[in-house]
Chains A and B, each alone.
Chain A
Amino acid sequence: MIRAIAALALAIAIIAGALLALGASPLGVMAALAQGAFGNWYALTDTVVRATPLIFTGLAISVSFSAALWNIGADGQLVMGAIAAGAVGPYLGGWPRPLAITLMMAVGAAGGAVWGGICGWLRARRDTNEVISTIMMNFVAAQLLSWVVHGPLMEPSRAYPASTPIAENAHMYMFMPPSRLNLGIVLAVAAAIGCWVLLFKTAIGFEMRAMGRNRRAATFFGIPIARLSVSVLALSGAIAGLAGAVQVSAITHRLYEKMSPGWGFEGIAVALVARLHPLGIIASALVFGALDNGSQAMQRAQGVSAELVQVIQALVIMILLAFDTPLLARLGGRLRRAMPIAARSAEEPSDA
């Protein structure tokens, strides 16, 4: 945690230097950023709303990375969750609201679970590198979304590339309108607690972590690696799928061509900053959510591009990884095996 804060501070120092070089006032920019993220009730609630999908995707990364399964496909799994929820949503008109929302979440989780589970199955049965398969499945999911909003799920007037709106009964419970605060954040926090319990309080969680730390030892001691790989990637996908379902149910109420601005990838950063700890992910997602949210205000007030926030996030990740060598080594080992030709040039004994 101290390291994470140090990384953040170092990133801010570098950014401040960059801003000075650009001729902007670092303090002014930071103030605008903070104002946009926390300055008033609306800003504050929207920070929470923006953090919600990041908590889910961060958790998806956390459970898979903890087992050394490098799921880079949370974005695709999120999209599949959204598609599943968006497809079911319009037909829930006659349903009691709690049931309709529950069903939306369930199909969303199922959609993501299938997407992640496929990669897990490929890993278990065909030893297909999950880094590659999950990345590829992102593209498939994105194209699938594009196709359904132009085709089978397109809204009745056929004018816009969007799906039929979901039934009102399937809308997420909102808190204190007109803010966009909704039950999703409660689900996200509950999911975080659930992941923490799973990883640290159960025998299966122990097996996942053992597998993540030393796959060979785990194999030797009879931990069912293949079965766990499928379950873990399916679970990871399910959590990411929930992010998509919550987004459809609470915010967009229908599918659009671009459902995710890259939450699945930002989730990697969120999880790494939290050093994969599920409860830490809540805090780290709020930080990233605040940066996302505040960047708009920063752009308006200081004339600094909102993309700068992405630079900040990238810096945080790189600096954090530079501070956290064991995690980097494990991730690096996996990536090296994914790219055997590149690996031949600069090789160290592999970690597994």
Chain B
Amino acid sequence: MLRATNITKRFDEVVALDRANFEAGPAEIHALVGENGAGKTTLMNIISGRLRQDEGAASLDGIDLPAGSALAALKAGVAVVNQSPMLFERMTWEENLAFGGFETGGFDLAAVASRASELAHSLGFSLPPRASLIEERTMAERVRLEILRALSFKPRVLILDEPTGVLAPSELGAFLDLLRRLRAEGRIIVLITHKLGEALSVADRITVLRQGRVVAKTTPAETSEAELARLMIGELPEAPVGPSSSRHEGGPALSIRGLSARRDGRLVLDNVSISLRAGEIAGLAGVDGNGQAELVDILAGVRARDCGEISFAGDQDEAAMTVIPEDRDLVGLVLDMTLWENLVLSRPLLKRTTRRGWLDRKEAMRLCGEMLARFRIRAPGPDTIAATLSGGNRQRLEVARAIASTPRVIVAHNICRGLDLAGTADVHRTLAQFAASGGAVLLISSDLDELVRMCGRLYVISRGRVREAAPDERNPETLGMLMAGKWN
């Protein structure tokens, strides 16, 4: 029995956890759900010894877990799969796994690799080529490696922090099966998630956190998605926007024809054709690492293509399209600059706030203040450093910047990953308004729910090849097959 009693944790003035109680038994999958900032990760960090609680205690099978000792927690059998993989970027994956339980002395990387691939095989994963560096691997591969590393400790308790965001639907089934198998072995599985459908389908019990407090303990049989959402947010969320079904779409806005690109000699985009019409939101579904990142880079103009054409309706100015990159912290924003400086990172906005080479700070600040108000970005003001914003507000800032650049096309890559319900709804509403006013959106995502909800037409990408999904293929099963590359 894993038990946390009356855990309180404060960060300066903020109470992250307020007398939280948590309990999970053997042979149980326990879902811990809540909005971003509700304290889910903080609670698990305390249980796994990465943070020291101010009050309260955690115990496993009646034995106290020493506060603030990650090593002791690991030895006691608590292993964690992190939200953003904590891997050594510039080491190979074998070296990374050698930090786990695969290494039994002698630092034999070949042995580590063979044990890891054995385990991976039993889980249905395939591993990257030997000796490749983590920084060259996709996010999905990193998460899989992290899961392998956690399992290598043969843990009694496995805590998974939002692990499914980067998995494909086809991988999701296998992954949930894996959780069930681990449960059957008598382990305690804690699944942190804000995907309510997932929690309902796989968990035995559900604990809901809101603003640091446990507001409900329930089971899937006793509750519903709507009730969980209400518990998490404290009120009914606004009705989600429907797919942009406006069939009165305008003329072509963006057309990509026969685009191919290589990376390290490997074909990562293979004769890709996508067309967008003004006023529509089209989706590009796919498992991460199937060429989406390269497509985004090419559209943003930072990667060269081998062949193919990209054209916009009307004039070809650089303001025609804005690309919102996947990694908002590393690529989308300059975290240690102010909000207004981040706003003018966008070329069209920099142009608009520059007079003969002089940066018009006042104008940029004014524009930024306007954006903060219009997009309900919670920040003290344009002079705030971007790093102090929460993830949801950072994403709102990115979307606000894209809209403010007044493009005709927005390409958005995994922009709702890690966002809570309120943040996701905000971002989706903004994109829908943009489309309604005649803009075109290409929503690139690995989240099928999001795509089916938001998009009129869907494309699927698999191993660099793109194909449009027919209307009768718009269901998770068929899309999952297509994403796995099962088409002629």
Residues of A within 8 A of B (CB): 201-206, 209-210, 213-214, 216-222, 326, 343-344, 347-350
Given contacts A347-B89, A349-B88, A350-B90, contact A221 B333 (CB under 8 A): no
Given contacts A210-B345, A343-B90, A349-B89, contact A205 B330 (CB under 8 A): no
Chain A contact residues: helix, strand, loop or mixed: helix
Task: Tell me if B91 and A347 are in contact (CB < 8 A).
Answer: yes
Task: Tell me if A203 and B91 are in contact (CB < 8 A).
Answer: no
Provide a sorted-by-A list of 22 A–B residue pairs whose CB atoms are within 8 angstroms.
Answer: A202-B358, A203-B357, A204-B357, A206-B350, A206-B359, A210-B341, A210-B345, A214-B333, A214-B335, A217-B345, A218-B345, A220-B297, A220-B325, A220-B331, A222-B318, A344-B91, A347-B90, A347-B91, A348-B88, A349-B88, A349-B90, A350-B89
Residues on B with C-beta less than 8 A from A326 are: 336
Task: Tell me if A220 and B334 are in contact (CB < 8 A).
Answer: no
Q: How far is A348 from B318 in the complex, measured between Cα atoms in Å? A: 37
**B:54-112 near A, CB below 8 Å:** 88-91
B378 at the A/B interface (Cβ < 8 Å)? Answer: no
| Centre residue among A205, A214, A221, A343 by max chain B CB count within 10 A | A221
Residues on B with C-beta less than 8 A from A210 are: 334, 337, 341, 345
Report A49 CB to chain B, min CB distance, Å: 34
B344 at the A/B interface (Cβ < 8 Å)? Answer: yes
Q: How far is A216 from B335 in the complex, measured between Cα atoms in Å? A: 12
Task: Tell me if A203 and B337 are in contact (CB < 8 A).
Answer: no
Residues on A with C-beta less than 8 A from B350 are: 203, 206
Given contacts A344-B90, A344-B91, contact A206 B344 (CB under 8 A): yes
Report A272 CB to chain B, min CB distance, Å: 17
Other than the given A219-B302, A220-B332, A344-B90, 20 more pairs (CB < 8 A) read A201-B358, A203-B359, A205-B359, A206-B341, A209-B337, A209-B341, A210-B334, A213-B334, A214-B330, A214-B333, A216-B331, A217-B334, A220-B302, A220-B331, A222-B347, A347-B88, A348-B88, A349-B88, A349-B90, A350-B135
Residues on B with C-beta less than 8 A from A344 are: 90-91
Residues on B with C-beta less than 8 A from A204 are: 357
Task: Tell me if A203 and B354 are in contact (CB < 8 A).
Answer: yes
B301 at the A/B interface (Cβ < 8 Å)? Answer: yes
Task: Tell me if A222 and B359 are in contact (CB < 8 A).
Answer: no
B462 at the A/B interface (Cβ < 8 Å)? Answer: no
Task: Tell me if B90 and A202 are in contact (CB < 8 A).
Answer: no
Report A205 CB to chain B, min CB distance, Å: 7
| Closest residue on chain B to residue A210 by CB atoms | B334
Residues on A with C-beta less than 8 A from B302 are: 219-220, 222
Residues on B with C-beta less than 8 A from A201 are: 358-359, 361
Task: Tell me if A217 and B332 are in contact (CB < 8 A).
Answer: yes
Q: How far is A217 from B346 in the complex, measured between Cα atoms in Å? A: 10
